[in-house]
Structure formats: structure tokens, C-alpha cells
Structure 1
Amino acid sequence: MKKIILVITFAFSTFSAQATNLINDERIKDQINCFSSKYENYDSWRGFMENKYKKRSKSKEALSNQLSWFDSMFGEEEFNKYKKNLSCKVFTYQVDGNDVQGYVVKPKKSAKKLPVLVYNRGGNGQFGSVQFGSMMNDLFPIANEGFVIIGSQYRGSQYPGIHAKSVMQDEFGGKDVKDVTALLDYIPKIEGADPQRIGMYGFSRGGMQTHLALKQVKNVKAIATIAGATDLLKELNVRPAMEKVYTHRIPDYETNKVTELEKRSVINWVNELSSSVPILLLHGADDKRISANNSVELADALAKKNIPHKLVIYSKDDHDLTKNKDKANKELVNWFNTYL
């Protein structure tokens, strides 16, 4: 009798675990709810951030200012709205036999299957990795409009508190592009996702990742880039500090600098782009990290090749489109609603 109870208990536990997974694929490991631990409610998250701010605040006034910024950036009402409406999991998957971390966000309720967006983050290595705050700021508003979003942290990067075993390093547009393309295999296994309607978009370095990924996959119907670099070699004249990143990240960079940067620059292979995949380009006119000329010059090249596209330059705005975040989100939502 005890054995039967144990078997039933184990079977129920297994079923419950499967039922809570957003990706029903045995290759996916460690699907952990984003709204857990210190992110379970707004107060616990805010308390965690308050303790963090205290360590670097020189006065009570400075601490108060940081907390005021935090509340204005996020806010309890927005947090509760997204927790109510969205399901979010971080997970581990394998690429080239190594663990890579990813994340998936989707509306909890939908009467029909939803289009899927593959999101490519910016930064390099751990810098720019997708944490809860960036999810809430960049991903939740889009997912809440009726999209499933899946993305990669890229090899060698970790979500806070979750550790994956990997010896691979981010190559800034090298083998790490496989971390993006590998995700497409899991889209049919996402509950409520429509694998026939896939889009892709990327921010900053993620714009480069988006163009590179499309050289390897054929089932993406539309793309968008936000502050994307399209000519890395030319951009070095604007931001020479990126040389350190390239030297550290890109294999054989010092001996093959021009070749490696041109391989990563879509402006050099516009002829290879599909005329059936429309491209949205968003950029801040005052971007100090990646010049808006990257998007302007790519748009000119796309026009010459009759590749459908739209260019939006936000006057007096920065790399993160701080002043026009809501407008940029609407552009993204409208773009993918139109073409997916």
C-alpha cells in the first residue's frame, strides 16, 4: 500500500512540474519562475534593492533619490499587473554540449496561439545580461501586448542566483550566434506559441546578433533592431573603447581584425538579405554608444536593394531610447502585428 501511495505521489509531482513548465521539452532544464525569491512581490524586490543601494549611498538623501528613481522606473502597480498577466521562466538549454541560460515570457491567458519574438540582448559577457529589471522594462511591456518572447543570455553569462556549467565564452557574434538559433527548435514546444509566426529583434549588440542569426535560419518573418551596430569597423572611429571588447571577445581579432569585424557588419552583406523579411530600424539621434548613422546608412542600403524597411530616428534621444521608450515599444508591437 505504501509503495502505491509513493508511486502516485511521485507521478502527481512529476505531472505538476510538467504542467508548470512553459517549454515542454525534456532537453530544457531548470525552468524557474521569474516571479520568485526576492522577485515574488514588489516589497521584497524593493527591499533587496534598498539594501544594495545603501552600500554605495553616501547619504540618506542619496538613498532616497535612488529609491525614488526605482519606483518611477518600475512601480508596484506595474509589477502587480505583469505578475497577474504574464508567465515568465528562466531556464537552461544546451548548445555544443554546454549549458546556456535563456528566458521565456508569455501571457497567461489567450484564446489563440500567439506569435513568437526571439529577443537578442545587448552587452557582452555578463555585462548587459537580462535580469529581472530589464525584463520588466524591456520585455514585459511587449509580451503583455500578446507575444511570446524567448531569448538567450549567450554562453558564459548567468542569470543572478542560477548557475549553469559552461566552458564556452561569448565571442561577440561568433559561435555564440548558435545560442540564438538553437532557441528556434524549442518554439514549437512552448505552450500557446505559434511556430508559424516568428519574429526577431535585438538591442545594441543584439541587432548584430539578429542579422547574423538570419543568415542561418529561414523561418523568421520580420525583424527589428534598436540602436544596432551595422558597421563595426567604421564605428571604431566613433567609439575606440570598443577595441578592448573586440580584443577580449573575438577569436584571432588581433591578426584578423578587418575580416572579423566585416563578418559581423550587415552593411557589408546587404545583398544576402531576404527581400521577404521586412526590417524595422529604431535609433536615438544622440546615441553616444552606437552612432545613429549605423541605422541611417543601413536604411539607405536597404532602399537601394528594395528590401522593405522602416527607419525611425528619435530626436535628442540616447542609446536606450529613454525619452521615447513607450513610442518605441508601440513601433515594435505594430511592426510585428503587421508582419506576423
Structure 2
Amino acid sequence: MNKYLLSIVFAFCSSIVDASGLIPDDSVKHQSDCFSGKFSSYESWRGFIEQKNKAQGKSEKLIDKAMQSFDKRFSKTDFDFYRNELICSSFIYQVDGVDVFGYVIKPRNHTGNLPVLIYNRGGNGNFGSVVFASMMHNLFPIANEGFVVIGSQYRGTFSEQDNADEFGGKDVDDVVALRDFIGQIPGADPQRVGMFGASRGGMQTFLALKRMEEVKAIATIAGVSDLSKEIAHRPEMERVFKHRIPDYQHNKKAELEKRSTLNNLDDLSASVPILLLHGTDDERVQVEQSTLLAEALSRKQLPHKLVLYPGDNHFLSNNKEKANKEIVDWFKRYL
């Protein structure tokens, strides 16, 4: 395992918490406090980022620029707030005999049981994995609104088994397997479960939904609904599909179609409302991936809401707070 992977794994497993952890299940291993090791304080986290930039041989000017960007995106005030208000744990669980990394986040002080959101990340393999920074940016604000958030990194992430992630194949099992832990998390309500995903995670959300009747509502952010159109827009994605999707070379059309929501609308239930969020200037996943899906959902008379953010990008950088509010309001309404 290379130094990069070791660094990531250490970040997720650096400090083993009480043996019971957040999930009192003997099959769940290495439950670790997210706020430990490099992330035990804002100063140590920031220092780690600075040293990482120095180790890459960057000039002082580029290091200063990188740290200014870090300070703009992550403040000590926000870090300390979430550290005090949230409990966050990473863990390893097994699916099909394969070790898979997962994580769970929940409010520290709450009364009664809270609704649960399963989060499906984007990217593939290590690219797009949910590291501490992405938790801070994307998940902590949602959990802080009164949700238990649980997610999978998908098989092959933080592992030497790079080809284990099948981009909507057996890795969907890793999402479905999370259902076994929800009822065991103190303060989590297994009767109120939603699911949301970003980019590739939008595809993953619809695929998992087919097998998870307990999911009451879903949301996607810049989700992919037609993989063939995605290749036409970004031909470089074909390399990802060839590497990830089994039998892609000999069965391309069928493999793409079974992963594309637009080709599987009959699998959707009228009892599960769908929220679609997308920036109109998304260069990675074109906005039509959501607009065409919304049109198809309308024709099927399936409950949904489409929210477009004019001029915004793949990450909704200019409307992050508004998008988070849409997500929170959606799940509070339906869970």
C-alpha cells in the first residue's frame, strides 16, 4: 500500500474508540473517532495540510495560496462547533467477504430518535472518497440539522483492490448492507430512512432504492441518470467505465442501461418523492441529466421536485447553503 493510501487509512482508523462504538455489532470493526489524530484540533488539521503542501515541494507563494484557500473554506469556529455538536465515527464492515469502509455522523445532544440519511458519494475508487474535509463541507451541516448520516466508501476504496468498485455493480451491495446497522445506532429511527447522493452517488441512490423498501424519500445532487449521454459529454469517462464495469467491452449497452435511471423508470415507486438539484453550468455532469429525468418523472406522474441553480457548477459552490436547506427541508417533510 502506497504512502498516500496509508495516510488516508490512518486518518480513518487513528484512534479506536470504546469497543461498542456507535454501532454495537460484533461484525463492525475498527470503529474510530473522526475527530482524532490529525483531526483532534483545528490547529493539528491545518498543520497537517500545510506540511502536506510543503512535502510536495511547492513554493512559498503556492503554499500561502493553498492555506488561504483552506482558511476560506474551513474556519476554526466551524470546526470547533461541529466537534462539540456532533459525534462522528468511521468503521470497517464486511460485504461478500470484502472489507468496506463506512462512517456514521449524528448530533451529540438530542432527545428521541432521529431520522436517518444514507449518503452515496461520487467519484470512483479513492477519487471522491469521503475524507474529513468532505465530511466538514458536505455532511456535518446536514447531520447538525437533526439527522443521523451513514454512508459507505464502496469496496476497493482505501485498499489495494482498486478494481473492486464496479461503478454500480456489486458495490451497490455495500450501500444496501448499511440497513443492518441503522436500527442498532442509538438515537436512529429505522422507520424514517432517506437517501441522497451526489454525482455518481445519484446513480447509486436509484440503484440501491430498488432493493430498499424502507427508504421513504431520496435526493440527488448533480446526479447521473443516463450514462450513455455522460460518455457523449465526457468521452474520458469511458476509461472509467472500462476499468470499473465488469464485461463492459462485450456488453456495453446493457451495462450502461441497467445503471441509468432513465432506462429503469418502472422500478420507481409513486410513494418515494424525489428531489433533484443541479447547477446549470455543471461541466462534469450536464444539467440535462436532471432536467430530462424530471420530464420523465412528470410523464410517469411520479412525485418530484427539480431545483436548478443558474450559473452554478458541479459542486453547487455558489449555492451550498441554499442546497443544504433544500435537502434538509425535503427530508424533514417526508421522514
If the length of structure 1 is used for normalisation, what is the TM-score?
0.91
Change (3 A) 1:90 1:311: same
Farther-moved stretch of structure 1 (22-31 vs 328-337)? 22-31
Name 2:310's counterpart in structure 1: 315
Name 2:13's counterpart in structure 1: none
Equivalent-residue separation in structure 1 for 2:292 and 2:272 (angstroms): 18
Farther-moved stretch of structure 1 (134-143 vs 64-73)? 64-73
State whether structure 2 residue 237 is matched by structure 1 residue 242.
yes
Conservation of the 8 A alpha-carbon contact between 2:19 and 2:31: no
* Aligned pair partner of 1:189 in 184, 189, 197: 184
State whether structure 2 residue 151 is matched by structure 1 residue 173.
no
State whether structure 2 residue 44 is matched by structure 1 residue 44.
yes
Equivalent-residue separation in structure 1 for 2:131 and 2:230 (angstroms): 28
Aligned residues: 319
SS of residue paired to 1:194: strand
Conservation of the 8 A alpha-carbon contact between 1:105 and 1:149: yes
Change (3 A) 1:275 1:154: same
CA RMSD of aligned residues (A): 1.4
Equivalent-residue separation in structure 2 for 1:55 and 1:187 (angstroms): 40
State whether structure 2 residue 174 is matched by structure 1 residue 204.
no
Conservation of the 8 A alpha-carbon contact between 1:203 and 1:228: yes
Q: Mapping of 1:54-203 within 5 angstroms?
A: 54-56=54-56, 58-158=58-158, 169-203=164-198
Equivalent-residue separation in structure 1 for 2:321 and 2:251 (angstroms): 41
Deviation of the 1:244 alpha carbon:
0.2
Name 1:17's counterpart in structure 2: 18
Conservation of the 8 A alpha-carbon contact between 2:163 and 2:244: no
Q: Structure 1: give runs of 5+ residues left out of the alignment.
A: 1-15, 159-163
Equivalent-residue separation in structure 2 for 1:220 and 1:27 (angstroms): 23
Deviation of the 1:18 alpha carbon:
4.2
Equivalent-residue separation in structure 2 for 1:146 and 1:168 (angstroms): 36
Conservation of the 8 A alpha-carbon contact between 1:98 and 1:166: no
Residue identity in the other structure for 2:288: N
SS of residue paired to 2:313: coil
Deviation of the 1:53 alpha carbon:
1.5
SS of residue paired to 2:167: coil
Equivalent-residue separation in structure 1 for 2:300 and 2:175 (angstroms): 27
Conservation of the 8 A alpha-carbon contact between 2:182 and 2:190: yes
* Aligned pair partner of 2:247 in 249, 252, 255: 252
Equivalent-residue separation in structure 2 for 1:58 and 1:30 (angstroms): 35
* Aligned pair partner of 2:327 in 313, 327, 332: 332
Change (3 A) 1:276 1:224: same
* Aligned pair partner of 2:297 in 302, 306, 311: 302
Conservation of the 8 A alpha-carbon contact between 1:100 and 1:166: no
Larger radius of gyration: 1
SS of residue paired to 2:192: strand
Conservation of the 8 A alpha-carbon contact between 2:119 and 2:149: yes
Deviation of the 1:65 alpha carbon:
1.5
SS of residue paired to 1:38: helix
Deviation of the 1:55 alpha carbon:
3.3
Structure 1 residue ranges (4+ consecutive) displaced by more than 3 angstroms after TM superposition: 55-58, 164-168
Name 1:281's counterpart in structure 2: 276
Deviation of the 1:59 alpha carbon:
2.9
Equivalent-residue separation in structure 1 for 2:100 and 2:58 (angstroms): 38
If the length of structure 2 is used for normalisation, what is the TM-score?
0.93
Q: Structure 2: give runs of 5+ residues left out of the alignment.
A: 1-16
SS of residue paired to 1:25: coil
Conservation of the 8 A alpha-carbon contact between 1:24 and 1:191: no
Conservation of the 8 A alpha-carbon contact between 2:294 and 2:304: yes
Farther-moved stretch of structure 1 (52-61 vs 120-129)? 52-61
SS of residue paired to 1:22: coil
